[in-house]
Structure 1
């Protein structure tokens, strides 16, 4: 190995390069250019810094090995500061004694070993320099290698390699240097500390941070806040540049900057996950060095003296005890006193702990403590005062434990971990060490470091199992910590006979009651739905006398993965498998609901998936346990800010995506029950089919199966009464499975309780999407006059069968072979080819029919009257409104001016700022390009297509609902702000997107105050009067987005677009 590797490792430690590497994945050469500009160290300077660090390391190790009086005098003379107990004892307790024990050296032999090592270290300090390099600059390739340096920061062997070139090494000393990477970590500690004090390093960090390429991941919350502010400022600047380019009509430059804006926005959106990834990479590569630095942070005081002075003073260190200077003795006596400062810090901490219901033993719920700027300031004040206290004070370790508890409740996981490790290392008895280890277990869980967390928990259990065991560990010995969540943590254990494995779930907090009552529902599930859940085997309390710390034991299913793990390994489920999995889940829910047992925490992570004989089988875990223990999910639901929370907390927050409103405090919907599971079922199925969060369900992510999309929308209704029950779900899933070509196994349901097959319904005539199915009907039918009933019957006749539907298509368009669409048979979509070979807009073929036009529900205004019957011939209409991408092709071909996109983006956004004349010109160009006849829809065609066979205010019902459209008060992320990309919401029953809100759509009909027949006719392009547009916009009130609402306009605005028809 060469010195270049040492350079890479050292600078990597100084710059936290794993963090930079993760954050710079999409930044290209920007990191290297920043290093070239600011990090102007030469290899020669790095070698000099390494040489000084080596000297400081030899002195610090020597001081740790020397007799107590000598090391105190040595430190007092060099640093002019009070002796710290950690500096004095860490080498002895963490390195010398364990090393001696490994080599079989008894306690009586330690003085001779100290003396031997001290003499050898003295000789090494007198040797010539071992680090040398040229006075040249680093190349770009060398700097890039530093940033991308991987592997652990283990440099002891590299240092020893340099050392052997100037002096022989004793084997025992060499082994001591290697023990737990002592020499390498000591050298790196001083190297990093020296380099970071240099103004060039400070400028480098500042430049990297300005570009969003570095963050102090020791405190994720602070790092996230700082980086978010940086990225938001960059976004603001880039958006301003886009506007400048647009004003200068430099479309190419605007497009380039827009891509940068989108990239910045993506980085901002992904910031929490990226920072967590960066922290994990940093901890993984530098774990041992980080722990060493935390343990020996007091070593930095040596840097107050020059290295030559430090090495000179090393000569006073040897194995004999000499008299201590009187001034040093006085200083030691002074620091041994219990000062008023200790009492002040303790009083401050006790008050804070009581205020926030904290204790020295950390609880999982502590992370959801609601702090404000005032309490955060008090915590920092307490920490600052704690640092100034003498560490040998008898109260000090207890205060450190309290500080760790407070810091962990404020979200600083790294800070809490550091404090608890300090408490563990300086513990004066086994009880204090066990408490520190248990607290480390809790904070390590928060960053999902399960193997490390388990190691700390087992240390605590070995000391005091009655206090710290989370289940009966003697009966069920732990093999592995599988995970943790809102209710508790899960262990893989051996059974009591040590013949097989079992899963033990330990709960954070129990509900009151006897053991049999607590687990009553879980035992019921074993009786009624045994095949749908893992077999329950045992349950109990760790502390039976006090009825505390309940646990539950189930079978372990070898080879099964939970839903989230399956998605991570294999990706989303295909449609057929997804429907089959959904059917199994629905059957399990149906059986449970019949027994009045509700899951109330259904999510992919609570589904075990395993392929058996070619079929993906499901087991639902945690069924019946919702009433066994309280969940942190309730506390998460009322937490105001998610910023800076741990991985564990983010996981708990993620479960809220599967919780319906009635489980999140919206009491107007009543108590949680069976319909709550239906909501969670719908959200879970969306996740399994898309591998996306169900927080904002996006129809384009789902398979192109409208019945499935509508069904999921039903399941996710806010009002439980509007969600389907499990029997309706089973019936629908069975039909969908048949439709996609697989017969479901309904005739042989899994034991022990059979699912009653739904009664067969009378066959109804196919209506080719002109009428909604039962599953998606949302509102009660409004009473109709006799004439309206007759009109409705009459309206369905042109669309009774597929043959008659295609007959109307042939009549309108001629032979089917002329329809240039590979999908036309599958979903009635056609696309004509343009002259350059590209495809035109996607068009949906609408069947002929009759409908009632106007304000059927009586919620509109006079210009929507009278309600009247209209007959419509078959036509094709745009699946989406015309997009900027489609309109820009027309503009580029004709030399027209491109409309402004308001800085919202072009591509698949609906075109805006177009006049009626602009829209007419586009249809003429499209007709010329394709040889087909395109135009704007008549007002009647638009309403017929938008209604899609419904008679409600919106195609899904009479209420706007949440996140179903883009207009004011719609609950979408675009509501009242700007346009959304086309297809951002579910399509109507004809398969048309964005007919509610988004943009007002021009029609070719003249506006009149009341209907007179002109709504069914097109105007000539020379008409100068008022024209109608329909549908509402992103800025419209819900009333204006109703299907029957009519409006007239004479000018283009950022609210107006259009879609086309082909006749």
Structure 2
């Protein structure tokens, strides 16, 4: 197949590779010089094509449909950070379909070398391509990420069938992502059951080598076992072979046993699926305490060819973005409008502006990393010391920054900017609703103003009036904003707080239709549910609120903010088990009985009396929430500070987007047999728990009030958080 000059709006640079049923090209967006990978449908091996499908009639149509299915599968699964995304989809002039993915230059092959089975093959390889093993910490890190992505595949009732090093790519943040879903199998698929052993033989299970008809999720588990063995030992488990612990004693018996179980020749003796394998891996790592020295994701930052130069007329915009990033660590909110105006004058669309910002950010990654880390330290100190840094703190920050290679002059400037920003935000909080409302709600929580059950029907109206009166009083007060804020905080918080105050709103009881009659099958059937009055936190639990538990030693300190800052942003990277630990600690400290909301309570509160897709209507709109395409400054970049957007009718913030929120319920594929009294569904697949609301990283459809998903109880991700409920 001749290399096309262009595909859609993209200029083709070169062919990256081809398989039996498709070709992949390196291309670029001519407007931004941003590189992408484009997969184009083509039948390159007619004999293999005929063998690979059970259809005896129109082989081309069957494989064409399978290609389209791959694009749909990738788009469906791209909610998971460990599965490669699909940017675009289209057809060439002759009707040939293609889809566009990020161009990820580095695969696992670059870390572990190529597979060889003979000494002659080894001699023929350049030294830098020789097979090699990885440190156990790195093996664990990669396995966790691969299994997190594969668990999403298995949960969708799909089987990957081609897990191998070349199909594990790394993005600019060093995160592993599964790719190549062209031979993925659905258990009920007719055309994928030809009997031909499809996949990469070195990583196939015995049953997959025998026939494609026999593959199950346990076949993928076997492939992951081969992958783990290969990373630990530097060799493939071919024929009689030693246990992996012989090659790497440091892996310990738990991990050794786990790898051998995954490699069991009998499918029913292996872990059932990726989710079970991930849970067992987590348990094995805890036994080894490997996580104490686990590699940071930035250790293996992608290294590839230098980025292509930006188009000359875009240079001023690029330089402006670069200056803002190096000066502030991120693009300040008040600079987004000027940037959009500059972009508009250069005929750049808003998505193209964000793509350019991402490109500049990736190019500056090594310079931004220490700056962002330093900002996080400064912000934490400012929060703890209420904006007034002690001399000791400043000196400590300067020393820390110097160790990161930042000059003292630059450090002093950065501290001054962050302190100025902190004071500015505090001052604004007196004039604008977001932070002051949180303080006011905290006061009302303490005095019990919204805890009176017999006022449930008028709670929304009363609440609005109380907040309005309080805000008026604050704005008319003669004291400076900083003094008022400090006084309010002293009212809300005890002199030496040992646990956070959680601002709750009373949610009136009622009746609603839960689920959807026309969207996803997991949301069906639409069914009536009665909700008893209860209380729900007005925001997701923040880092500030979670830090109390970390400081007390009850919650793990090994929790990452991904360099996005803490403060009043929602806590992330927490598992369902982490949440239960936090609730147990908080209840013990406060004497209260906090809990997670049930799935029904959550949807009832999110709808806030509406029957539309979102609480404000059927369209996502602009700047209503934080998601991929919501029109906010945080879209698909990072979580926003809680309460950055308007509250719903019940007074709840961020029920749509920002971070996924754990609820109490076990996972069930649909609502057949679900409770109708608003209680949590505590039966079903209880090693997986329900998540609601979508996140900053997801497109709008995942933010719908009825949308639901689930993940393993012990799994953590950079967009998983929670909010608390309380009984009246």
TM bracket, shorter-chain basis: 0.3 to 0.5
Q: What TM-score does the superposition give when structure 2 sets the normalisation length? A: 0.37
**If each structure's helix is expressed as a fraction of its own residues, which one has the higher value?**
1
* Greater Rg by CA: 1
